[in-house]
Structure 1
Amino acid sequence: MRVEINKKNEIDVEMVFEINKEEIEEEKRKVISEIKKDVEIEGFRKGKAPENIIEKKFQNLIKENIFKNLVSKSYIETIKKENFIPIIEPEIYDVEFTDDKLSFKIGVELKPNVEIKKYKGILIKKVEPKKVEEKDVENALRELEKRPEFSASIIDLEKRNMWKKRIREELEAKEKEKAQLEEENQLWEELFKNTKITLPEKLINKRASKYTEYQLKRMDLKGKTKEEIENYANEIFKIVKPYAEKEVKKYFILDKIAEIENIEVDEKEIDERIEMYSRNLGRPFDEVKKELLKNGEIENIRDEIRIDKAYKIVKENINYIERIVLPGQEK
Structure 2
Amino acid sequence: MKIEVKEISAYEREMKFELAWEEIEKDHQQFTKKFAKDVELPGFRKGMVPVPIVEKKFGPRIDYDFINEKFSDYYGKALDEKELNPVSQPELIDLDFKKNSPLSLTVKFEIMPEWEMPHYQKGFQIEEYKYLIEDEDINESLLRLRENAAEVVPVEDGAKSGHHIVANAQEIDKEGKSLTEVQESRIVLGKAPFDGETEKALLGVKPGETRTITIKAE
Q: TM-score range by the shorter chain?
A: 0.3 to 0.5
In terms of fraction of residues, the more helix-rich structure is 1
**Higher alpha-carbon Rg:** 1
In terms of fraction of residues, the more strand-rich structure is 2
TM-score normalised to the size of structure 1? 0.33
TM-score normalised to the size of structure 2? 0.48
Q: With a CA cutoff of 8 Å and minimum separation of 6, indicate the structure with the bigger relative contact order.
A: 1
